[in-house]
Amino acid sequence: MVKILPDTNVVISALIYKHKKILGALSLNQDEDALKFFEHFNNDEIIRTLTVYNESKNKLEKNAQNIKLTENKDLNKKIVAYLTKFVKIELKKFYPRPEKPLDSLVQKAKKDVRDLSDYITMRYNTVYKDDDSQRKEAKRRTKIEIKQQQNKGSWKVIFEKYREQVRIESFQVKKFMSKEPFDKNLTGKKSKDKNSGDKRILAEFVAIKRKHEENNERVDFYIASFDTGFFSAKKIYGITEKSDIVTNEIKERFEIICDIPSEIIQQCRPHV
Amino acid sequence: MTNQLLAEIENRVKNIDTEDRVDDTVIDTVIDYLTKLKNDLLKVEKKWLNIDHENSYSIYYGVRSVILVLEKIIERFQTESIDNVSQIAKDTLLVIPFINYIIQDAMQYKTNDDLAEHILEMTDQLDEKAYDANLLKSSEEYLHDIDKNTILKFFDGMLEIMEVPKKIP
């Protein structure tokens, strides 16, 4: 049995794709995999969390209210109200409001997710932050390989191999860190944690997973997301390896596989 | 006045004798009361349409949400089969007391900011109840009133916000 959590961007993306299709609009920019994801898995397999619901609702509402339509303010208000109602009803059909999960389990999971985020921050500062740190890490890996395998090959070739490996690894970590709170002007005040939504989503899902484990259920857990800075590996054009330090860490710590919807469909339904 | 009207509607709907044949005049009276309430709220809505205040939209949206639920109740009483009156009455009673509560609650706020913040929360709850009671208009009904290009403009804006990777054609 599988339990899969679609991230906010997958929910909204599927909703948009569905309606663009109905309206007959071109959707080259839209990934139809999100809608396929909802069509492939049944209601028992898809996990819905309150944070994903609230994030989806808030983003849809906010965008509806920001839309500039006509010079007629009264008409604008009416259209915006109807647009807001429209997207809210569609969301309800697509993603019914879930129940709040057990607080105690979520609190415990939140602490574990904080530990994960602290660990990624530490790795960023020591390994990926700048060119100098990345070179040091590549040197360290080169030394280990030469020592362990008594490799007499060219130091430069091995070093360049690790230099590239570390560079690829850095993409996802850097994207993750760009959303982490930081004290830019060293005033003691940190910027907003733009990863906070994803952290809450992960904590809620971990809590749900632990609840299943308490019941000794044999279940595989997945998160489907387009967010390459957290829940899905970053692919780099022309390179086979993926940048997946954060997603791998989630897999190690929580036994949750994170990937883009099409990859998750492939893993769970290889014959579809 | 509005609260009295709502109490009267609630009372009338409760008194619909679903076991017996429901007289058309009973339904007509309920519809008249609902229409009167709707017209009163339309006046309130017009006021908020004309106020150019940063929170006027939220308050307008709250009032409009109540009107839309009332329109749906009226529509169902007017168009559905007489055999379904019992169900419509049940559904109506799931939202009317809450609308009464929203209006009473709205009276207590002294500033527009407080009212605006609160009314959106209340509207969300009303929509949840109306949805469960089958008294929320369908998205198709809203789409009917919105120009297709507006929807597309909205969706394009959404894609930018979501940073969803672009699919190569």
Query: How far does the CA of residue A172 sit from the closest CA of chain B (Å)?
Result: 15
Note the pTM of the prediction, 2 decimals.
0.83
- For residue A4, what pLDDT is reported? 95
Whole-number pLDDT of residue A115: 96
Contacts of A57 (CB under 8 A, 6+ apart): A88, A91
pLDDT in tens, A32-85: 788 888 989 998 999 999 999 999 999 888 888 877 766 777 777 888 888 888
Give the per-residue pLDDT at A29.
Answer: 47
Query: Any bridge partners for residue A257, and if so which?
Result: A222
Residues of B in contact with A237 (CB under 8 A): none
- Amino acid found at A67: I
pLDDT for B169 equals 41
Nearest Cα to Cα of residue A261 among A30, A23, A25, A24: A30
For residue A29, list chain B residues with Cβ-Cβ distance below 8 A. Answer: 159, 164, 166-167
**Contact assignment for B142 to A88 by CB distance below 8 Å:** no
Token readout for A228 is 């390459």
Contacts of A65 in chain B (CB under 8 A): 57
Task: Give pLDDT, residue B81.
Answer: 85
Q: Which two tokens stand for residue B117?
A: 């913040």
Which residue in chain A is spatially nearest to B58 when comparing CA positions? A81
User: From the CA of B14, how many Å to the nearest CA of chain A?
Assistant: 29
Q: What is the pLDDT of residue B164?
A: 60
CB-based contact B150 A93, cutoff 8 Å:
no
Q: Which amino acid is at A232?
A: S
Structure tokens at A8: 């906010």
What are B2-49's pLDDT values in tens digits?
778 888 888 888 877 666 666 778 888 889 999 999 999 999 888 888
Q: How far apart are CA A248 and CA A256, in angstroms?
A: 9
The whole-angstrom distance between B37's CA and the closest CA on chain A is 20
| A18-55 per-residue burial string, b: 16 or more CB within 10 A, e: under 16 | bbbeeeebebebbbbbbbbbbebbeeeebbbbbbbbeb
A107-133 burial string, b = 16+ CB within 10 Å, else e? Answer: eebbebbeebbeebbebbeebbeeeeb
Task: Look up residue B65 and give its amino acid.
Answer: S
Inter-chain CB proximity A78 and B64 less than 8 Å: yes
Nearest CA in chain B to A90: B139
Place of tokens 């921050």: A121
Q: Name the helix (H) or strand (E) containing A224.
A: strand A220-224
Chain B within 8 Å of A1 (Cβ-Cβ)?
A: no
Alpha carbon distances (Å) from A210 to A44, A107, A116, B48: 17, 12, 17, 49
Q: What's the 3-state SS for B22-91?
A: CCHHHHHHHHHHHHHHHHHHHHHHHHHHHCCCCCHHHHHHHHHHHHHHHHHHHHHHHHCCHHHHHHHHHH
Q: How far is B41 from chain A (nearest CA, A)?
A: 15
Cβ of residue A82 closer than 8 Å to a chain B Cβ: yes
Q: Inter-chain contact A83–B65, Cβ cutoff 8 Å?
A: no
Domains of chain B: 2-150 (1.20.120)
Single-letter residue type at B95: V
Please give chain B's pLDDT, 169 residues, in tens: 677 888 888 888 887 766 666 677 888 888 999 999 999 999 988 888 877 777 788 888 899 999 999 999 999 999 998 888 889 999 999 999 999 999 888 888 888 888 888 888 899 899 989 999 999 988 888 877 777 788 888 888 887 777 665 554 4
Separation between Cα atoms, residue B152 and residue B158, nearest integer Å: 10
Minimum distance, in Å, between the CA of residue A73 and any CA atom of chain B: 8
B145 contact A CB<8A: yes
d(CA A153, CA A164): 17
User: Would you call B157 and A69 a contact, using CB atoms and an 8 Å cutoff?
Assistant: no
Does A25 contact B57 at a Cβ distance shorter than 8 Å? no
For chain B, say whether A86 makes contact (Cβ under 8 Å).
yes
Determine whether the interchain pair A89/B145 forms a contact, defined as Cβ–Cβ distance below 8 Å. no
* Residue B18 dihedral angles phi and psi, to the nearest 5°: -75, -15
By CB atoms closer than 10 A (0-12, 13-18, 19+), residue A88 is: buried
Which stretches of chain A score pLDDT less than 50? 29
Window A:88-147, CB contacts with B under 8 Å: 88-90, 92-93, 97
In terms of Cβ atoms closer than 10 Å to its own Cβ (0-12, 13-18, 19+), residue A181 is: middle
A94 contacts A15 by C-beta, under 8 angstroms? yes
